[in-house]
C-alpha cells in the first residue's frame, strides 16, 4: 500500500492545491464582497455544473427519482425526530450516491474542468455569515471524503492510461493496483463521511432543539 501511496501523491497534491487555491479565492472574494452566493447561484455556469449528471441518459432520470425519494424520506424522519434513521439515511446518501457521483465525474475526467469552479462557489458560500467550529469540521469531513474518492478515481484512470510513467509493468497491473487502491480509499472516505453525517445530524438536532 505504501508504494501505491507514493505513486498517488502527486495527483493528491495537485488536487489539494487546486482545492485550496479555488476555495481560498472564493472565500476572499466573498469576504471582500466582490461576489455573492446568490449571484453565483443564478449564473448559467453554476446551474450547468450543478445539473450536469441530470443530462446523462438513463442515469439522470434515475438520479432525479432517487433525490425526490430521498428528500421526501429525509423530511419525514426529521419531522418525526428519528435521528438514528436520519443519521443512517444521510450517511447512505453521502457515502453511496453522492460519492459514486463524484467518482463518475472524476472517471469521465471532462467534468473535472468545473472542479475549481465548484470549490470557488463553496468558498464564497462559507464566507457568508458566521460559521461555528462544528460546521467547519463537518465541511472538512464530508467534502474531505469526497476529495479522497475523486483523487482515488483519478489515480485509477491515469495509472491505466500512463502505466509506464507511474512505474507499472503493464496496463493490467495498473488496473489491478488501481482498483485495489480505489477500494481502500473509498472505505477511508466512508469513515470520514460517517463521522461527518453524525455531526451533521447533531447540528440539525441542536437547531431543532432536539436531544
What residue segments make up the domains of the chain, in order of their start?
2-208
pTM of the full structure: 0.81
Name the phi and psi angles at 90, rounded to 5: -65, -40
CA distance 183 to 148: 11
- CB contact at 8 A, 182 and 200: no
The upper half-sphere exposure of residue 136, i.e. CA atoms within 13 Å in the direction of its Cβ, equals 8
pLDDT tens-digit map of 168-197: 889 999 999 999 999 999 999 999 888 888
CA distance 33 to 114: 23
Q: Write down the pLDDT at residue 21.
A: 94
Name the band, by pLDDT with cuts 50, 70 and 90, for residue 84: confident
Name the band, by pLDDT with cuts 50, 70 and 90, for residue 208: low
- CB contact at 8 A, 142 and 157: no
pLDDT tens-digit map of 10-45: 999 999 999 999 989 988 988 888 877 777 777 777
Report the b/e string of 122-137 with b at 16+ CB within 10 A: bbbbbbeeeeeeeeee
Amino acid at each position: 500500500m505504501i508504494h501505491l501511496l507514493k505513486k498517488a501523491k502527486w495527483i493528491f497534491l495537485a488536487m489539494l492545491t487546486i482545492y485550496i487555491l479555488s476555495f481560498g479565492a472564493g472565500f476572499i472574494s466573498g469576504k471582500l464582497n466582490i461576489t455573492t452566493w446568490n449571484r453565483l447561484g443564478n449564473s448559467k455556469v453554476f446551474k450547468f455544473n450543478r445539473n450536469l449528471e441530470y443530462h446523462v441518459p438513463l442515469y439522470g432520470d434515475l438520479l432525479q427519482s432517487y433525490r425526490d425519494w430521498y428528500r421526501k424520506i429525509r423530511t419525514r424522519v426529521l419531522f418525526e425526530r428519528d435521528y438514528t434513521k436520519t443519521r443512517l439515511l444521510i450517511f447512505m446518501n453521502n457515502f453511496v450516491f453522492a460519492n459514486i457521483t463524484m467518482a463518475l465525474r472524476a472517471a469521465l475526467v471532462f467534468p473535472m474542468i468545473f472542479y475549481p469552479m465548484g470549490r470557488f462557489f463553496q468558498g464564497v458560500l462559507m464566507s457568508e455569515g458566521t460559521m461555528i467550529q462544528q460546521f467547519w469540521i463537518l465541511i472538512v469531513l464530508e467534502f474531505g471524503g469526497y476529495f479522497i474518492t475523486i483523487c482515488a478515481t483519478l489515480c485509477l484512470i491515469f495509472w491505466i492510461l500512463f502505466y509506464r510513467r507511474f512505474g507499472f509493468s503493464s496496463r493490467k497491473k495498473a488496473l489491478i493496483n488501481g482498483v485495489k487502491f480505489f477500494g481502500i480509499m473509498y472505505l477511508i472516505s466512508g469513515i470520514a463521511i460517517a463521522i461527518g453525517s453524525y455531526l451533521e445530524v447533531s447540528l440539525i438536532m441542536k437547531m431543532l432543539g432536539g436531544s
